Structure 1
Amino acid sequence: MREHFVWVTTRRIRPGALEEFERAWRPDPYPEGLRHAYAYWSEDGQEITGVSFWDSKEACDSWRSSEAENRRREIMSPYVLEEREGFYQGRELGVPVR
């Protein structure tokens, strides 16, 4: 089974700030080594979980310590009330076909 390198970030944002937050959240430039990225919102639009898949832990760490990521976090900061993040390594679980 193929191993995945995943960075997960969950943010609670100010009420009513989802649209502004989404504009600030887009990375520029697109990170080197990023394979896939997903965003999931709570029903009230105040909690967002981002899940990104990377080539390696080093690729993710390089982006996380980059000037571009620092700028992106500064732009997002007016909308973020709380943030949790973690880096994980794992595999896809086989789900039986029904």
Structure 2
Amino acid sequence: MQEHYVWVTTRRLQPGTLEDFESAWRPEPAPQGLHRAYAYWSEDGQEVTGVSFWDSRDACDAWRASEPEARRRAAMAPYVAEEREGFYRGRELALPSATRG
């Protein structure tokens, strides 16, 4: 099974700032070593969880230490009340096939 390298960040936003936050969070330029990224919002728009898939931890760490990432974080900062993040390794779970009775 293929292993994935994943960076997960959850941010609690200031009330009413989701739209402004969305325009600030997109990385420019696209990070090297990033395969894909997803963002998930709570129904009230006050919590956003980002999940990004990387070539390696080194690729993710290089992006996190870069000047473009520092600028992106500074642009997001006025909208963020709290932030949690972590880097993980894992793989897709094989689900059992559904049986019909």
TM-score greater than 0.5 by the shorter chain: yes
Give the share of equivalent positions with the same residue, in percent: 71
Normalised TM-score (structure 2): 0.95
Residue 13 of structure 1, CA deviation: 0.4
Residue 97 of structure 1, CA deviation: 2.8
Residue 66 of structure 1, CA deviation: 0.3
2:51 match: secondary structure: strand
Give the length in aligned residue pairs. Answer: 98
Question: Which structure 1 segments of 5+ residues have no match?
Answer: none
Question: Which structure 2 segments of 5+ residues have no match?
Answer: none
Residue 96 of structure 1, CA deviation: 1.9
Structure with larger Rg: 2
Which residue number corresponds to residue 93 of structure 1?
93
Amino acid at match of 1:11: R
Question: Structure 1 stretches (4+) deviating beyond 4 angstroms?
Answer: none
Normalised TM-score (structure 1): 0.98
Which residue number corresponds to residue 47 of structure 1?
47
